[in-house]
Amino acid sequence: MVFSCEVPSNVREPVFIADYLCARFTYHDKARWVGVIREGRVFINAAVCTEDDCVTAGDTISYDPGEWEEPYADLSYSVIYEDEWILGVNKPGNLLVHRAGKSFRNNLVYQLRNVHSPLYPHCHPVHRLDRETSGVVLFAKDSRQGAVFGKIFSEQKAHKTYKAVVSGKFDFGTPYTIEQPVGADKESGINFRFRVDESGKSAVTVIERAQVYENGFTLLTIRPVTGRTHQIRVHLAHLGFPIIGDRLYGLSASEYLSKTRDEITGGLPCRQALHCKSLSFVHPYTGERCEIKAELPPDIKERLN
């Protein structure tokens, strides 16, 4: 199967093909992309290219990845809201929103554009959830609407509510506000790990409700005021209540780097118990408040029994 993409309009000056590919598609580094180009598996405007070729806005790049086995993904997503401009999708745990690594097909964007019935060939995610986080994801039906609805998020006018399961009795009292800056954890040796850091970006999370269960777990209702990467996960771990199943923030950096997922979970399916329960905003076209809800999935409910 050959994958194609168009070079966006913001690429105004010619860029060497290998430089462009490694910057946009980070699942290969530059050396690997050069190797793929030399194997004749990259095309510019339907012609086999060389590493000396350049691309600019409007060019179509095609890539033949050859034979590969995609990582498993849970494709049991559902469209739970639709109007003329947007889609609301209930994403299961263990499903990427965007393509990453070898997950060329097993991601939400590809499924909606190429597999779903009906197809949404021009849809764009307005925001994203981590692979293991389930719940509401908003898609615009085209790039123009992506800009319109993206502005709602950039201006922090979209209100999200999450559910998370943590171990132990959350005894801080609710509502409880966590106001701690979040920045990259550069000392951990792990890419995309964050921590509470005074030099980071301001981040505010409100724990609105804590429901304690007999099995010793607590179900939290959470409203992030800001939208920093991994914000909820970092803030809860900082309080001493990492989310159940969250390997990245429930373990020390050394444990995370030294153990495989199977060693940590005993080979059992396990993902972080975090779910985006609802998303609401004032609809820019109707002027009415739009609220999209996704029920708590069975795998999280099971943690509470």
Q: Write out the catalytic residue numbers.
A: 130
CB 232 within 8 A of CB 273: no
Nearest alpha-carbon partner for 170 in 197, 133, 208, 204: 208
Which one, of 65, 72, 132, 61, lies nearest residue 97 by Cα?
A: 132
- Both tokens of 19, joined, read 């430089």
Nearest of 115, 108, 105 to residue 138 by alpha carbon: 108
Torsion of CA 5, 6, 11, 17, to 10 degrees: 50
Residue 112 C-alpha from the chain's centroid:
16
Q: List all residues 6 or more positions away from 114 whose beta carbon is below 8 Å from its beta carbon.
A: 105, 121
- In the chain, % helix, strand, coil (3-state, to 5) comes to 20, 30, 50
C-alpha 196, offset from chain centre = 20
DSSP state of 153: H
How far apart CA 96 and CA 7 sit, in angstroms, is 23
